[in-house]
Amino acid sequence: MIQTNNLSFGYNKSQTVLRDICLTLPEGHIYGLLGRNGVGKSTFLKLLSGTLIGKGEYSVGGFDPREREAVFLDQIRLVPENEAILNTTLQELTEVISLLYPTYSQEIFRNAVSEFDIPLTVKLTQLSLGQQKKALIALSLACNTPYLFLDEPTNGMDIPSKRTFRKLVASNFDESKTIVISTHQVDDLEGLIDWVVIMENDGIRLSSSLEELGERFGTEDIKEVFCQVVENKEDKENI
């Protein structure tokens, strides 16, 4: 479970990106973290993965991410929007990464590589942006960690690859896992997520399962709900 209680963060004293975020995300869901550019979605994922250190109380799987304990880090996998691309092949990279994650699955890796059709022996730096993205997602899915945080994972992907991405994430998901996908391209998550979290500059505007969305907004169309929530700030209390 992911829990935050008055989580705040600013890159400097005058610029607070997140203020008093209170959120509970139970395990066993694929969360869509939606919001406009610059509201702090990436920052939020970095805080959860321990690469940024925030104020307030927050925990992931019972661990305080700020401590960055090895036993915590091997349970989470973060795919940042702009991940470092090493001058090495996917084959070499996976050999090292597999040693770091006890839950690593070679089977998932082989399947993802085959589905995405990524070359194993070509240096990552020589691949296109979309292929690099797919390679890193394949690697992260193979880590098979209880917590997976994907930041704008579909950026740079073509339409068939986005479909493959949704298929792979769904097929490798089970009730013991928690996946948080941050994006501003709401369409890319259609049919994949079962819980929506909408962020705005003033904090979390909505955290709701898709079923509840239907009851509250009369539609399960995420794009429609997103527009309603973001454009109708006065409704904050009702959400």
Token duo for residue 48: 């959860």
Quote the least distance from Cβ 148 to another protein, whole Å.
12
Closer CB to another protein, 95 or 190, in the complex: 95
Quote the least distance from Cβ 144 to another protein, whole Å.
13
- Which residues, including other chains, have CB under 8 Å from residue 85's CB and lie 6 or more apart? 124, 125, 132
Is 91 among the residues that bind another protein (CB under 8 A)?
no
Closer CB to another protein, 89 or 161, in the complex: 89
Is 74 among the residues that bind another protein (CB under 8 A)?
yes
Select the residue interacting with another protein from 23, 93, 210, 230 (CB under 8 A).
Answer: 93
Closer CB to another protein, 71 or 227, in the complex: 71
Select the residue interacting with another protein from 82, 121, 176, 238 (CB under 8 A).
Answer: 82
| Cα–Cα dist 218/202, whole Å | 25
Quote the least distance from Cβ 75 to another protein, whole Å.
8
| Cα–Cα dist 68/63, whole Å | 9
Is 51 among the residues that bind another protein (CB under 8 A)?
yes
Closer CB to another protein, 52 or 198, in the complex: 52
- Which residues, including other chains, have CB under 8 Å from residue 30's CB and lie 6 or more apart? 169, 170, 173, 179, 181, 192, 193, 194, 195
Q: State the Cα torsion 143-149-154-160 to the nearest 10°.
A: 40
Quote the least distance from Cβ 233 to another protein, whole Å.
30
Is 70 among the residues that bind another protein (CB under 8 A)?
yes
Site residues (vs another protein, CB under 8 A): 46, 49-53, 68-71, 73-74, 76-78, 80, 82-88, 92-93, 95-97, 99-101
